Chain A
């Protein structure tokens, strides 16, 4: 499975936000500059500290468009997304 097309992002990465999370933060994408945390869980913890709109939010995390566990690694250029509780259908 290949990742999505995306612009080179140097040593940092992009984090996509959706729906109520995007509204709570006031933007739909965040740039994370190096040094990057090693894992998805550590990155999420850093984002919760940096963005008050995320501090107590409920979300899952996706890396390159797949749900990822907290211990999954994070690498420069990855496309991360914070997935608030879904409500399709």
Chain B
């Protein structure tokens, strides 16, 4: 399961996507909208994606996770549009036979997604807004 979606992320569906009879370990990472950043209070976020390229990059990351990081099955879902505090913005699920590969691949996937995938967030504050540039 690889998706960029306007809809709320169905975490149960994300977990089901990595189920398998040989996969005894599942690691799940959820990124949720936080009420503060860089010392400022955040009211909400707006996410924008270069949709087709974002999904293509996420597909390539999933393939690399399977080939080089020991993942058996991978699910990557990123939400875009207007998100409120506490909403799930990104879900990464990885299954493998045993836990070391699941943890390691999950960590690599979220770190690399944040560096490469063309998605941007705008933080909304009480008194303004700002596009965040984290990874040049």
| Interfacial chain A residues near B54, Cβ < 8 Å | 88
Taking a contact as CB atoms under 8 Å apart, the answer to whether A86 and B53 are in contact is no
Known contacts A18-B50, A20-B133; A86 and B117 CB within 8 A of each other? yes
| Interfacial chain B residues near A19, Cβ < 8 Å | 48, 120, 122, 131
Interface residues of B in 88-134 (CB under 8 A from A): 89-90, 110, 113-122, 131-134
Interface size on A, residues (CB 8 A): 21
What's the dominant secondary structure at chain B's contact region? mixed
Taking a contact as CB atoms under 8 Å apart, the answer to whether B78 and A88 are in contact is yes
Taking a contact as CB atoms under 8 Å apart, the answer to whether B135 and A81 are in contact is no
Segment at the B interface, from A31-39, A45-53, A58-66, A70-78: A58-66
Report Cα–Cα, A85/B52, bound state, in Å: 17
Interface size on B, residues (CB 8 A): 29
| Interfacial chain A residues near B49, Cβ < 8 Å | 88
Taking a contact as CB atoms under 8 Å apart, the answer to whether A18 and B135 are in contact is no
| Interfacial chain A residues near B115, Cβ < 8 Å | 86
Known contacts A16-B50, A19-B120, A62-B118; A87 and B56 CB within 8 A of each other? no
Taking a contact as CB atoms under 8 Å apart, the answer to whether A66 and B89 are in contact is no
| Interfacial chain A residues near B131, Cβ < 8 Å | 19-20, 23, 84, 87
Measured between C-beta atoms, what is the minimum distance from A46 to chain B in Å?
Answer: 21
Measured between C-beta atoms, what is the minimum distance from A35 to chain B in Å?
Answer: 27
B39 within 8 A of A: no
| Interfacial chain A residues near B132, Cβ < 8 Å | 87
Report Cα–Cα, A85/B115, bound state, in Å: 9
Taking a contact as CB atoms under 8 Å apart, the answer to whether B133 and A89 are in contact is no
Measured between C-beta atoms, what is the minimum distance from A26 to chain B in Å?
Answer: 14
A4 within 8 A of B: yes
| Interfacial chain B residues near A67, Cβ < 8 Å | 116
The 8 closest A-B pairs by CB, nearest first: A88-B119, A85-B133, A19-B120, A20-B131, A65-B53, A89-B114, A87-B132, A85-B136
A-B contact pairs, 5 of them (CB 8 A): A1-B56, A19-B48, A83-B50, A84-B120, A84-B131
